[in-house]
């Protein structure tokens, strides 16, 4: 005995994991019932909220007790319930930053997650495009309503962090709603952009470009960035939120193709959920890799050092990983020698 007590081992963490799904379920219910919008509009106690949500006071109390415990609601001195800052900013449905569509983006998959054991045991050959192999204009419209609700914020952040002054043409690989391109051409005079995405998706991209009044500065190309040649003549490229869809070989291929297509002196930014260099966490990056089991692709989570290696192998210099949204997204950047 060295006199030091060993850390106490108990079941608390395991029990929390075993019931983690309850947190997701109540979070969805709060969004469905527009709880945060009603709180923001002034319903600050159980009675007022029960009336606003049209549910019983007992159930309203149950809901607010959980939301207080989860830190989604707070009790303000003297004024009753109020939203936590993130709920006030992103979950008030009358606000222009409302991200409810993104928060419930993967909701339809919930039953599949509870059959994941069988999915992990499957020996079926994965499809390269995974969930995207069957995409239609209609499904792309639903899908990108969600990515747009979160992507515009990410696009704005990108333009605050990365100075594209003097750049002429941006290639937005798998650009989806065009959120990055829309923000980039608005932020940098003289910049044009091309969104390359699967053909059905570009129909939807075009709708967002028109809605945002940038269709004269952003065009679209329907294609597959793995299989098809990339447009040439661009001096900056972004690939955002595609990383876990593909295995290392395919990410290396697309980074190489982008390097080859860029003008000398051009830069590439790969934004995605990445694991720490040792492969241990964050959970979110690991889970996006796991989701690919359900989508039937060959993709997986990649570490930030793997991303740096894809760039260096392709020939990029000054390669760096930069925290883009700490704990969620990393931006890997490199320059093609001039």
Ligand X SMILES: C[S@@+](CC[C@H](N)C(=O)[O-])C[C@H]1O[C@@H](n2cnc3c(N)ncnc32)[C@H](O)[C@@H]1O
Q: Rule CB under 6 A: which residues touch ligand X?
A: 132, 147, 151, 174-177, 179, 197-198, 201, 224-226, 240-242, 245
User: What is the rounded distance in angstroms from the CA atom of residue 238 to the CA atom of residue 236?
Assistant: 7
User: What is the rounded distance in angstroms from the CA atom of residue 255 to the CA atom of residue 313?
Assistant: 9
Least Å from the CB of residue 223 to ligand X: 6
Least Å from the CB of residue 240 to ligand X: 4
Residue closer to ligand X (CB basis): 197 or 306? 197
Position of tokens 């329907």? 222
Residue closer to ligand X (CB basis): 239 or 275? 239
Least Å from the CB of residue 120 to ligand X: 23
CB 66 within 8 A of CB 138: no
User: What is the rounded distance in angstroms from the CA atom of residue 296 to the CA atom of residue 158?
Assistant: 30
Q: Tell me the Ramachandran region of residue 54: left when phi exceeds 0, alpha when psi lies from -120 to 50, beta otherwise.
A: left
Which tokens hold the place of 310?
């894809």
Least Å from the CB of residue 203 to ligand X: 12
Least Å from the CB of residue 79 to ligand X: 37
User: What is the rounded distance in angstroms from the CA atom of residue 174 to the CA atom of residue 234?
Assistant: 15
Residue closer to ligand X (CB basis): 175 or 266? 175
Q: Rounded to 5 degrees, what angle do the CA atoms 219, 150, 233 make?
A: 25
Residue closer to ligand X (CB basis): 16 or 142? 142
Least Å from the CB of residue 151 to ligand X: 3
Closest to 81 (Cα-Cα) out of 49, 54, 55: 49
Least Å from the CB of residue 270 to ligand X: 11
- Compute, in degrees rounded to 10, the torsion defined by CA atoms 230, 234, 235, 239: -50
Residue closer to ligand X (CB basis): 140 or 314? 140
Q: Please state, in angstroms and as integers, the Cα–Cα distance from residue 115 to each residue in 124, 293, 306, following that order.
A: 16, 11, 30
Residue closer to ligand X (CB basis): 245 or 262? 245
Closest to 258 (Cα-Cα) out of 293, 219, 231, 218: 231
User: What is the rounded distance in angstroms from the CA atom of residue 303 to the CA atom of residue 282?
Assistant: 10
| Residues 6+ positions from 308 with CB-CB distance below 8 Å | 319, 320, 321, 332
User: What is the rounded distance in angstroms from the CA atom of residue 165 to the CA atom of residue 184?
Assistant: 10
Which tokens hold the place of 239?
């690939």
Position of tokens 């952009």? 193
Residue closer to ligand X (CB basis): 242 or 332? 242
Least Å from the CB of residue 52 to ligand X: 33
Least Å from the CB of residue 236 to ligand X: 14
Residue closer to ligand X (CB basis): 100 or 176? 176
Residue closer to ligand X (CB basis): 29 or 253? 253
């Amino acid at each position: 005995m060295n006199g030091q007590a060993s850390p106490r081992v108990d079941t608390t963490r395991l029990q929390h994991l075993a019931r983690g799904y309850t947190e997701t379920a109540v979070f969805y219910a709060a969004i469905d019932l527009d709880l945060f919008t009603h709180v923001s509009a002034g319903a600050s106690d159980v009675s007022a909220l029960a009336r606003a949500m049209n549910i019983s006071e007992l159930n309203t109390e149950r809901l607010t007790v959980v939301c207080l415990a989860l830190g989604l609601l707070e009790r303000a001195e003297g004024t009753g319930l109020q939203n936590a800052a993130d709920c006030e900013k992103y979950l008030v449905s009358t606000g222009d930053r409302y991200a409810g569509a993104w928060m419930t983006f993967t909701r339809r998959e919930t039953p599949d997650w509870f059959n994941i054991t069988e999915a992990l045991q499957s020996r079926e050959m994965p499809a390269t495009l995974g969930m995207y192999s069957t995409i239609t204009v209609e499904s792309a419209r639903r899908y990108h309503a969600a990515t747009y609700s979160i992507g515009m914020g990410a696009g704005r952040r990108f333009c605050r962090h990365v100075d594209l002054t003097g750049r002429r043409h941006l290639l937005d690989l798998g650009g989806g709603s065009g959120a990055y391109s829309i923000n980039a051409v608005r932020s940098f005079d003289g910049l044009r952009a091309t969104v390359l995405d699967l053909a059905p998706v570009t129909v939807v991209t075009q709708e967002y470009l028109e809605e945002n009044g940038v269709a004269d500065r952003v065009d679209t190309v329907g294609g597959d960035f793995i299989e098809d040649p990339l447009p040439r003549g661009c001096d900056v490229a972004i690939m955002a939120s595609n990383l876990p869809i593909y295995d290392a070989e395919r990410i290396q291929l697309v980074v190489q193709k982008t390097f080859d297509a860029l003008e000398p002196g051009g830069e590439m930014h790969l934004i995605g959920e990445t694991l720490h260099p040792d492969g241990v966490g964050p959970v979110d990056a690991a889970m996006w890799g796991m989701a690919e089991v359900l989508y039937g692709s060959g993709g997986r989570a990649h570490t930030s050092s793997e991303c740096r290696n894809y760039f260096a192998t392709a020939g990029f210099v000054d390669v760096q990983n930069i925290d883009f949204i700490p704990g969620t997204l990393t931006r890997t950047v490199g320059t093609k020698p001039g």
